[in-house]
A and B are shown apart, each in its own frame.
Chain A
Amino acid sequence: MKLSVQINEGPYQHQATDTAYHFTKAALENGHEVMRVFFYHDGVLNGTRLTTPPQDDRHIVNRWVELAEKYNLDLVLCVAAAQRRGLVDDGEAERNKKNATNIQEPFRISGLGQLIEAAIQSDRLVVFGD
């Protein structure tokens, strides 16, 4: 089955991102296709490389990176949500004249159209949130 995932909550604060990760990983391991993981609301905070959890805790950001590298997973942060919450890549830094970036590759910042497109093209959109 072709799936897409939407995540509406930030890491550590809320379980949604953990559940979404385990769901996505299980789906991929069982041969399903995951077209896209779309991060919305505080979910965009999953994509900052400045995240530094205690060493004995799970590293949520790195966990997404490893999954993305293994399965060529498309990780997309909503641009409007990202701008509000200070998530910046090179393009956004240039456009909005910011002197730093914090996005973790291979996360990318793009528009809400990517969510709509994923919903149209996937068999199921699975939403994780509060």
Chain B
Amino acid sequence: MSDIKKFMYLNRRAPYGTIYAWESLEVVLIGAAFDQEVSLMFADDGVYQLVKGCDTSESDMKNFMPTYRTLGDYGVRYMYVDQASLEARGLTADDLIEVAWEDWETEEEVDNIVEVVDSAKVTELMAESDVVFSF
């Protein structure tokens, strides 16, 4: 396929409690091999997926939070967080992890691809995506 599509993975669930967040990550990791333009959107309880300092040690659950920090190496170029969802949960951008990104060919670097966006921007970003995977 020569055409590159804009993929958005829409994450709406808390990281634990259901398997949606983890199995969504698995799609992102596998999908990296297909070289599409990939963004992730975190909304509703999905914003908890990026909160710093998650500790699962007493719950017998694998802590997959470190995986989010590596997404820049898996072809993810943008990670958006819905501002209204953050605010409704008493969170701010300071509570979120940072994810670095680097283009190996052009050596272009971005320190942090996690970006908080307002509702109008969320709508715009979804509208301009070719594919929205909803989890």
Residues of A at the B interface (CB closer than 8 Å) are 6, 8, 40-41, 80-81, 84, 111-113, 115-117, 119-121, 125, 127, 129
CA–CA, A80 and B25, complex, Å: 12
User: Are B36 and A115 interface neighbours, CB within 8 A?
Assistant: no
| Additional pairs, 17, CB under 8 Å, beyond known A112-B31, A117-B34 | A8-B20, A8-B135, A40-B27, A41-B23, A80-B23, A84-B19, A112-B30, A113-B34, A116-B27, A116-B31, A116-B34, A119-B5, A120-B3, A120-B5, A120-B131, A127-B133, A129-B134
CA–CA, A113 and B132, complex, Å: 16
- Chain B proximity of A2: nearest CB distance (Å): 13
CA–CA, A41 and B34, complex, Å: 21
- Chain B proximity of A49: nearest CB distance (Å): 24
Q: Which residues of A contact B133 (CB under 8 A)?
A: 6, 119, 125, 127
> Which residue on A lies nearest to B27, using beta carbons?
A112
User: Are B26 and A112 interface neighbours, CB within 8 A?
Assistant: yes
- Chain B proximity of A115: nearest CB distance (Å): 7
CB-CB contacts of B28-61 with A at 8 A, as 1s and 0s?
0011011010000000000000000000000000
What is the interface of chain B mostly: helix, strand, loop, or mixed?
Answer: mixed
What is the interface of chain A mostly: helix, strand, loop, or mixed?
Answer: helix
**Chain B: how many interface residues by the 8 Å CB criterion?**
19
* 7 closest residue pairs by CB, A with B: A112-B30, A119-B131, A116-B31, A127-B134, A116-B34, A125-B131, A112-B27
- Asked if B88 is at the interface of the complex by the 8 Å CB criterion, the answer is no
CA–CA, A125 and B27, complex, Å: 15
Considering the complex, which residues of chain B in the window 5-19 have a beta carbon less than 8 Å from any beta carbon of chain A?
A: 5, 7, 19
CA–CA, A125 and B134, complex, Å: 10
> Which residue on A lies nearest to B20, using beta carbons?
A41
Q: Which residues of B contact A41 (CB under 8 A)?
A: 19-20, 23
- Chain A proximity of B32: nearest CB distance (Å): 9
- Asked if B127 is at the interface of the complex by the 8 Å CB criterion, the answer is no
CA–CA, A113 and B31, complex, Å: 7
- Chain A proximity of B123: nearest CB distance (Å): 18
Q: Which of B19, B132, B133 has the most CB of A within 10 A?
A: B133
